[in-house]
Structure 1
């Protein structure tokens, strides 16, 4: 197995590998997005895309980036973004090699932490990261703006939504009928 920096010619392969992490667009646009990421990483000393090859074939990749731990904590960390291994190369040491590349990059940069994320549904990836000693720091939850707005509106009390609850409307109508019948 060998590790190397990504080249523009890797963009189609990386677009396939990282399909679940890329924006929803047609394949051409996704490849263009990856080409831009490769170009940006090649020009920055704080970024690197590492491609793992197994017997000369692409087997996996990871985007490495120096950043703060989070916007509130200025401690530097190397983010190992989207470490992916093609299914036929899993359990061949590719994931370990990619994470070793992340540690080496952190050491080169003088950074004391490495962070990564695995999709919540990827049990194998999460177990692998845990075996390496990476513990959970936070849970990233995502929703569309539209869906979140709808849920927030539904959770507001009725008087804040500008409407009245059905029971209040029915009680008001009964009260009006009683006052009309008595008058």
Structure 2
């Protein structure tokens, strides 16, 4: 009987340990920044000038070098030409870049940031441009005007994320949950053992 109870306790504690491991793995992943809004809106059609493209995230965007070098925000047409006119800027939860669009058509925005948890996050979205008749169209550029590239910024972002880790507060919280669950398991097993003895 005692061996059976010990086996049950070990199984329960193993379950608690597995749950804790799952939480530890999921915690940093779930902390990645995600897009909450874009200007222009994703999938929309802009029928007026678009002086800038902006992406807003749910949490702050990190700028470890304080120069935007770990952030990418590029605006390209179907031919791959660039229509951002400068480097992106980071301000809290927002990244933006000035633009001068070309002819009417589809445009793709490619972004990459260092998330608040220190990890690189990237994505794309598209919008259509239908300017009024007579609007001046920019010629676009074959290369990104910022002088960097997605790969270069990505390498910088990866370097910045290399030293990141789960915050102490998260670790303490997870440990607390594990201890609490273990205590509950011990109490339940103790009660069950007492009932068996009384019977």
Q: What is the TM-score of this pair, normalised by structure 2?
A: 0.28
Higher relative helix content: 1
Higher RCO (CA < 8 A, seq sep 6+): 2
